[in-house]
Structure 1
Amino acid sequence: MEVFVAGCAFVADWLLFVFPLYQGRMELMESNSVYAKYQSTHSKKKGVPFLYWLFPPLYFRYVKKQNIKGLNRLFKNKDDFRNFYGFYNKSIAWYFVSYAGFLNAIESTYGVLEDLELGFLTIPLFLVIVTSLFILGHHYVNYMASNQHRIRFIKSVASDYHRIKKQTPPNQPKNLD
């Protein structure tokens, strides 16, 4: 029973890392859509180096430095600035929640491995599991926030709509449109 409870905590803590990270990414994307109106057309969007994701305070500093360049133009429109600032603060809060979830996930991963009594394999297996789940979680968030996922979702909804529409008998009214 102890292993089962530890396993549930393990899953919950890793979910508390991944989904707040995803929510923070979505909030940051919203703030960037407001901010994009004020970026110069000459500047190119650079991706965030992976190293910054490992330590959230460095990531926040990096994002802040990148965004300050266009803030002077954004200050002129108070409504847009208020929207941008709200989304930006929410994204930072979600990243800290995700970081706390990551720290909990580290602890629960070690707890599960200790409960399994693997001996000398505990530490190497711990490092492999934490590193793997961190990278997988990060890639999952990137996929969920990508255009590829949106396109697949839209195609799936359209396919379901056409399938349901074809299944409706001809003598019944079609109220799907």
Structure 2
Amino acid sequence: MELFVAFCGYVGAWLLVAGPMYQGALELSEEQIDRGMIREQSLAIPHQERVSPWWWLLPPVAYVLIHNAQDRWRRQVMAALPAEQREQFIEYSNKAAGWFIVGAGAALIGIKEAFELVEELEWPGWVTIVLCVAAGALAIGYTTGRMHRTDRALHAEDAA
């Protein structure tokens, strides 16, 4: 019975990863966002001069310098966008971040459940990694497969 419960916990936890991943993909695909305009504006703003690789001798300093340069560029791109596109982008980003947090939390539970299943079966510890990678790949595969089939069904007349 303990093995059954451990297996159910593992499968259930990874279903909690696949669900938000799929729901997030659905919601984000429905967002009305002018990707062309945003891409155009981002390409029009020149990137800051690259931070010297020598700064990686002091990794925290390199991280801060690179982060600050990217943040300045991001603010310039946002300032260049019309208000409507800026709002679209921020809404899209916020939804994506929310779904990412839900999925990441579920993935952490999935890792714990995989570890407990491996312990219950008395398998070597590295099997936990294999179970997590396999479950993650299945969740990604399910989401991309469903999104592809949905897109194909919605645009069936284009394929004919």
| TM-score band, normalised by shorter chain | 0.5 to 0.7
Residues 41/87 of structure 1: CA separation in 2 closer, same or farther (3 Å cut):
closer
Residue number among 114, 118, 126 corresponding to 1:124 in the alignment = 126
Matched residue of 2:40: which SS? Answer: coil
- Supply the distance in 1 between the matched residues of 2:42 and 2:94 (Cα, whole angstroms): 27
1:6 Cα offset (Å): 1.9
TM-aligned CA deviation for residue 100 of structure 1: 1.0
Is the CA contact 1:24–1:94 (under 8 Å) kept in the aligned structure 2? yes
Q: Which has the higher contact order (CA 8 A, sep 6+)?
A: 2
Corresponding residue pairs, total: 128
**Structure 1 residues 107 and 10: alpha-carbon distance in aligned structure 2, compared to 1, 3 A threshold:** same
Shift of 1:36: 1.2
Structure 1's unaligned 5+ residue stretches are 44-60, 156-177
Shift in Å, 1:92: 0.4
Match of 2:146 in 1: 144
CA gap 1:40/1:83 in 2 versus in 1, 3 angstroms: closer
Please name the residue that 1:55 is paired with: none
2:92 is the counterpart of 1:87: yes
Quick check: 1:114 aligned with 2:119?
Answer: yes
Does the 8 A contact of 2:6 with 2:117 survive in 1? yes
Q: Among the aligned pairs, what percent are the same residue? A: 23
Name 1:98's counterpart in structure 2. Answer: 103
Partner of 2:34: 35
| Residue matched to 1:175 | none
Letter in 2 for 1:35: D
In 1: Cα distance, 2:135 partner to 2:128 partner: 11
Q: Judging changes above 3 Å, is the alpha-carbon distance between structure 1 residues 126 and 153 closer, same or farther for their aligned structure 2 residues?
A: farther
Show structure 2 runs of 5+ residues with no match. Answer: 44-66
Q: How does 1:1-177 map to 2 (within 5 A)?
A: 1-31=1-31, 33-38=32-37, 39-40=39-40, 68=74, 71-74=78-81, 76-78=82-84, 80-116=85-121, 118=122, 121-146=123-148, 148-152=149-153
State TM-score, norm by structure 2: 0.62
The CA RMSD measured in Å over matched residues stands at 3.2
